[in-house]
Amino acid sequence: MAPAAALLLAPLLLGSLWGLSAAGSLLSRFGEHVREAQAELGEQSSAREGWLWQPLDPFNSSDRRSFLQRYWVNAGHWRAPDGPVFLHIGGEGSLGPSSVLKGHPGTLAPHWGALVISLEHRFYGHSVPPGGLGLEQLRFLSSRHALADVASARVHLSRIYNISASSPWVSFGGSYAGSLAAWARLKFPHLIWAAVASSAPVQAQLDFSSYNRGVSRSLADPTVGGSLKCRRAVALAFSELDRGLSEGTEARAALQSAVRACGALEAPEDQAELLEQLEGLVGAAVQYDQQAGAPLDVRGLCHLVLANRSGGPLSGLRDAVQRVLQALGLPCLPSSRAAAVAALRDTRPRATGPGDRQWFYQTCTEFGYYITCQDPSCPFSRRSVLSAQLQLCAQVFGLSPASVAEAVARTNTLLEGQGRGDIDPWHVLGVLRAPRPRDMVGRSSDPLRLRLGRQKEWGAGQWLDSISVPSL
């Protein structure tokens, strides 16, 4: 594989790519907690904030409207003017100063003498165009618009910082932003010399039932603290939940108390909401396994559901809920579908954290990624069906199921990519098979296969010292 085209997979999920049926889902909150905890680590003084004017519609030269897009710069290790540039592409949330100080770009920058720049995604964080998040505005939100922003920023930032034409630009990203990093290299090879894409789901998929196959495998994997007994216990806990929700008012009231649901569980849609939140908790334990700031990992979850207590696995799941709610500062587990839909309809921008409305719009108009539980290996409730997910696109944005399916097919036509992976639940939509995945930042506890993979990546970077990059 040529170094310039290398797409290196390691699943640090920087965003909550769960096919959101609800704003503020437990998986989304879990991921934001992890990011906030990691952002607090380290010195922030080397990061500088900047702004770029970008065209609102880069595909229509007659539209003169523009907006300010935020970026961050860390020049503390840069060998100006011809050292490499590491471009950290933002995804479905705001970016802070840690985006140029931590993670893979920040870790590699001292050795390579790199300038590190992060670019916040349009319509997220502080980079929201005037007019808010109404439907008329959101038509300018897509991965293709984001890629145009990357190309424009690459040109303008080269001039602003007097970056040499011989400096190689390397795009970095995780999760959806990892897809953008890979696509930026593929679409703009004259601008982006290489890409490091972590857990990049470059293939859009309407029914993403394979996510839960990944969760199921991880729950049974002893290398991360799982076991076949653990997977069976989780499946049993959800089976008990399903049965209790169907048994009557008294049983539902007992479940509401046991799992600390915020509201009554009489309506089928609220029962489904609760189940999705609990599935998100288990998915988050897998997705953010052993990352700094994660309140629960696979080993901890398995310990709880397998503990010898009279309540069985459901009692262990209840303890897991209590632990996570306490860590996230939540009084109870959201369980109102009406409240979730209302939150997704809220057009007010949110300056920090994930953009739930914006990302859900992108799933409805580009990617799908709706996680269902119809596969026999799925350990969760069989109530998670595609039709319910698609109904939300109609409720929130007025988009028919057929239009969502067509949008997903169009994305795969315009933005190529399909591949393989490993344990991380998003790997099945990734680029290529990786060594044992974890995240893009090394830890002493990482498995040998992951450390060897990073050594290969480090060696692949030797070309940075000698390559000649074509001028713009």
Side-chain-facing half-sphere of 175: CA atoms under 13 Å: 19
Q: Over its length of 472 residues, how does the chain's per-residue pLDDT go in tens digits?
A: 233 332 222 223 333 344 434 335 666 666 666 666 655 554 556 899 999 999 999 999 999 999 999 999 999 999 989 999 999 999 998 999 989 998 889 889 999 999 999 999 999 999 999 988 999 999 999 999 999 999 999 999 999 999 999 999 999 998 899 999 999 999 999 999 999 988 788 889 898 888 888 899 999 999 999 999 999 999 999 999 999 999 889 999 999 998 899 999 999 999 988 998 899 889 888 888 888 778 899 999 999 999 867 778 999 999 999 999 988 888 998 889 899 899 899 999 887 777 889 999 999 999 998 888 887 888 888 887 888 889 999 999 999 999 999 999 999 998 765 444 444 454 444 444 443 334 444 555 555 555 666 565 555 555 454 444 433 3
For residues 124 and 177, give the distance between their C-alpha atoms in angstroms, rounded to a whole number: 12
Topology at the third CATH level for domain 43-202: Rossmann fold (3.40.50)
- DSSP, collapsed to helix, strand or coil, labels residue 420 as coil
Give the model's pLDDT for residue 152: 97
- Per domain, the residue ranges of the chain are 43-202, 206-413
- DSSP, collapsed to helix, strand or coil, labels residue 254 as helix
Give the model's pLDDT for residue 352: 75
Single-letter code of the amino acid located at 358: Q
Parallel, antiparallel, or unpaired for β 169-174 and 85-89? parallel
Give the model's pLDDT for residue 236: 93
Strand segments (E) across 8-105 = 47-55, 66-74, 85-89
Q: Do 208 and 371 meet the contact criterion of CB atoms below 8 Å apart? A: yes
- Contacts with 364 (C-beta within 8 Å, 6 or more apart), sequence order: 393, 396, 397, 399, 404, 407
